[in-house]
Structure 1
Amino acid sequence: MAVLWQCYGNRWTRDRDKLPRHSSVTAMAPDRIQASSSNSPTKKPTSKKTKNPGLRKRQAEWKQQLPSPWTVNEMFTHPPYTSTVATKAAKADYHLTDEELRTLPHETRPSDHIQPMKLYSSDALFNLARDKSFYLKTPLVVCGITYHTDPGPAGTASGSVAAISIAKPKKELKWMEDERDPQPPPLVVSKYEPPAEAENPDPPNIIWTSTQLPKVGSESDACRAYCVEPSEIADLVAASHWIHFETVSKRAVNLHGGFHAHRDFVKRRRNEEKQQLQKKYEGTYDTEKSDFEWSPHVRQFHESCGSPRTDVNRVAVHLPIERVCMDDYGTEWEWLPSWGYF
């Protein structure tokens, strides 16, 4: 005798008494359900369209045609006024890989980490990212800006008429926010009066700020950089924990007897520190290096600042020093974060 199966909810049963009398579920044998479902029309699988056909092939070809890695030169420096970008930002903002970055010249700077910091020209990064986008047939996206038309090589006028769209801006880094709008505001004294007793007159058009320093910093930064005592900038410290470096620069030049006397003062301080370090590290294999460390604000500035600029009319600053090995040429003192500049 055949057994009639019935469905109650999602459960099959042979017991009619367990089904409620008001149930409207249609009874059907299990084998008939499978046959019924197989007869229902099915949708044909659709192939997913590729947004950029052939992209993987072009990516492989792009890697093969990359130029040879740049021959590392630890003494290499970018030309003056070059805008530079550190490795981490180069990858994030220009969407370049380590392999691609190795093809570009870079400047080496000491850092807080074991590995030295590498700085690339922002123009070179832009041009490489542009070439890559042309080759891969992908949009050029640099620093959150998407270029819908060719902007041209970096530094050309065509970039000003390129069609772009701007992504939601990233949150400003803390040190940049402090640099733009230090709170509480530092005391700024813009007036400078040359000392009457100066032996040599000041040069015209003095450049008060250093390319090695941000706009503001800590009290210890200011005292180190401009060879002043805390008591000599007590009014600045009382106003804010942010010290305006240009104000300190003008005050130091006045206190030390003028532009040239201040430069000589910085040189004497540096020579004194050399002698102290030589005595401290005598008979050891440790690196002779200044004990002074910049504040986090200044260190973060060094990670993104461009190449240092030297000018005969720029106020001297007392940078930390370190004795470095020059291979066959012995050792030499280096001013941190860059060699050979005030």
Structure 2
Amino acid sequence: MKVLVTGTAGFIGSHVAIRLLERGDEVVGVDNLNDYYDVGLKQARLDRFRHDPRYTHVHADLADREAMASLFATHAPRRVVHLAAQAGVRYAAENPHVYVSSNVTGFLHVLEGCRNHAVEHLVFASTSSVYGANRAMPFSEHDSAEHPLTLYAATKKANEQMAHSYAHLYGIPSTGLRFFTVYGPWGRPDMALFLFTRAILRGEPIKVFNHGRHRRSFTYIDDIVEGVIRCLDRPPAADAAWDAGEPDPSSSGVAPFRLYNIGNEQPVELLDYIRRLEQCLGREAIMELLPLQAGDVPDTEADVGELRRAVGYVPRISVEEGVVRFVRWYREYYQA
């Protein structure tokens, strides 16, 4: 089938596009190749599949209403995987307008495209950051997520609510996936594993917030892609068992809409993550231990029971193996 993937020059989007092409789907990719980080890396990701005859690339900004309307009208995708967004939790404090333009206005244009062209399933990226001030562990889709602590998280929470309203009003089957700390080859240079690897190889100190006592559900990219594809193939329906009582945060019952956590259920302390990286690099990190940053949460832990029951999702790559694979890619790509 023909699938529109937004953000195909991005970390997760490029991996999803490759997986869809490998199984025989036709992919229309859209990306604006902004300069939030190294555009050369984005181009290199695209070069891995750009010349596949079943791939069509569209250079456009999601916030450009006319461009997005034209994209949907021209290509008429059957399904949509929406992964493009202005990423980076901390960058939002410096450039809030960029986040609203890309993550809110851009998502509205995606929803409008789905509405006007009878898209049969929309899968979109959310984030574990929406849990914000929630301290119940592990994070569950059935818990409230009404108090995000960063603008980035607030835009993603807005996406969930916007998608639900369109699912209800226009019958667009929609699935939101709350990603938990994704890492792996071709990752983003602003994320911890990338930053740490570069600094350690250069003999530079790394900033370790909360004195390294963070616990995170680090999730390898291949496990994320597997979950995205499985969800794409299973559009949700409205919950016939809903009894008009209090709606569940993950599934209201009145719309073909679901929210799922997608991540590794075995959280790892940041210091252990760094130790594994040191072993792979054969070098010791120079750590600058710092307090918890504003907007950060001390721990994340994914409850993926709902996704397991729905699509059989089981993450398979351990942090030990995942870090080895990342380091191997990093050394090859940067000749480090």
The TM-score range, normalised by the shorter chain, is: under 0.3
TM-score normalised by L of structure 2: 0.20
Q: Which has the higher helix share?
A: 2
Higher relative contact order (CA 8 A, sep 6+): 2
**TM-score normalised by length of structure 1:** 0.20
Structure that is richer in strand per residue: 2
Q: Which has the larger radius of gyration?
A: 1
